[in-house]
């Protein structure tokens, strides 16, 4: 079964190294978004919750990067996780990021990945 891999990278200076590591593992395309966690917004806010959310776009927030990709069913997910932590260090450390995989029950467009490399180069 294909899987959706999602990673929130807390260390902005590590994003390009994470992308390189994923490409070495055989990921041929990914989507990258700027993001910010609600916990950090609330921790740093001096205003009540609703005021903070109202001002979210007006304020200057520390951002993270969220990377996601759908990989085919025979992809080495554990290898990708290990390669990621080789770049970021342990993701069990505070403010280090998070990575997870979730099964994808329906997908279209993976056919173009038929020749994707499954092992690190």
Distance CA 1, CA 102 (A): 10
Average of pLDDT values for 65-94? 95
The whole-number pLDDT of residue 54 equals: 52
**Residue 84 pLDDT > 80:** yes
Note the helical H segments in 1-121.
Answer: 15-24, 38-44, 49-54, 77-88
CATH of 3-34+64-113, one of 3.30.70.120, 3.10.20.30, 3.40.50.300, 3.30.2320.80: 3.30.70.120
Domain boundaries, the chain: 3-34+64-113
The whole-number pLDDT of residue 118 equals: 42
The answer to whether 52 and 42 have CB atoms below 8 angstroms apart is yes
The whole-number pLDDT of residue 115 equals: 45
Nearest to 59 by CA among 71, 76, 47, 74: 47
The answer to whether 80 and 22 have CB atoms below 8 angstroms apart is yes
The whole-number pLDDT of residue 53 equals: 57
Average of pLDDT values for 48-70? 68
What percent of the chain lies above the pLDDT cut of 90? 54
In this structure, what token pair is assigned to residue 45? 């806010």
Beta carbons within 8 Å of 44's beta carbon, 6+ residues apart: 61, 62
Quick: pLDDT tens for 44-53: 555 555 555 5
Beta carbons within 8 Å of 57's beta carbon, 6+ residues apart: none
Quick: pLDDT tens for 3-29: 999 999 998 899 999 999 999 999 988
The whole-number pLDDT of residue 15 equals: 95
């Amino acid at each position: 079964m294909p899987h959706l891999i999602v990673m929130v990278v807390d260390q902005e200076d590590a994003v390009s190294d994470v992308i390189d590591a994923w490409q070495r593992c055989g990921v041929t395309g990914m989507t990258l978004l700027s993001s910010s966690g609600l916990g950090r917004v609330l921790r740093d806010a001096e205003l009540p919750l609703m005021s903070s959310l109202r001002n979210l776009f007006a304020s200057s927030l520390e951002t993270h990067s969220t990377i996601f990709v759908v990989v085919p069913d025979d992809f080495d997910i554990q290898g990708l996780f290990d390669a990621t932590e080789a770049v970021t260090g342990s993701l069990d450390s505070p403010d280090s990021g998070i990575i997870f995989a979730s099964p994808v029950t329906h997908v279209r467009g993976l056919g173009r990945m038929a020749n994707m490399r499954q092992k690190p180069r």
